[in-house]
Amino acid sequence: MPLAVSQPLAVPDRPDVFAQRLLSPPVTVKSTRGGSPSSSSAETLESGTPTEGRGNRMSRDWTQFAVPAAIGGVALLFFGLLTRGTFDPFHRVGLEVFYEGQARSILHGHLNVLRVEIDGEGILVDGRWYGYFGIVPAILRLPIIGLFSSRWPYLAPWSFLSAFAVQAAATIGLVRWSRRQTSVIRWWAPLAEAGWIAIVLGSASLFVAARPYKYEEAIAWGVAFGLAAFWAILRASETGRTHHALLAVAFAACSIGSRPTIGAGVCAALVVAALLWWSRSQKMAVLLAVGAAVAFGSYVLVNELRYHTALNPPYIDAVGYRNNPRRLALVRRGTNHLANLPTNLFQYLRPDTLQFVNKFPWITFRMPAYHPVRIIGSPQFDGIEPTASITDTMPALTLLAAMGMARVRRFKPVWALIVGGGVTAGLTLTFFGETERYLADFVPLLAALSILGLIALIEWEPSSRLRAPVYALLGFGAVWSILTMAALVIQSQHWFESV
Query: What is the per-residue pLDDT across 434-455, written as a single tens digit (0 to 9) for each?
Result: 889 999 999 999 999 999 999 9
Report whether pLDDT(51) > 80: no
The residue among 43 and 235 whose pLDDT is bigger is 235
How confident is residue 92, by pLDDT bands cut at 50, 70 and 90?
confident
Among 32-41, 99-108, 116-125, 259-268, the range scoring the smallest mean pLDDT is 32-41
Is residue 371 very low, low, confident or very high in pLDDT (cuts 50, 70, 90)? low
Domain parsing of the chain, residue ranges: 81-498
What local confidence, expressed as pLDDT, does residue 10 receive? 42
Residue 256 has pLDDT above 90, yes or no: yes
pLDDT mean over 279-295: 96
| Whole-number pLDDT of residue 146 | 82
Mean pLDDT of 354-360: 93
pLDDT, residue 386, reads 82
> How far apart are the C-alpha atoms of 117 and 229, rounded to whole Å?
31
Its sign, for the CA torsion 251, 262, 219, 202, is: positive
Q: List Cβ neighbours of 223 (8 Å cut-off, separation of 6 or more).
A: 163, 167, 205, 259, 262, 440, 443, 444
Residue 299 has pLDDT above 90, yes or no: yes
Which of 48 and 471 is assigned the larger pLDDT? Answer: 471
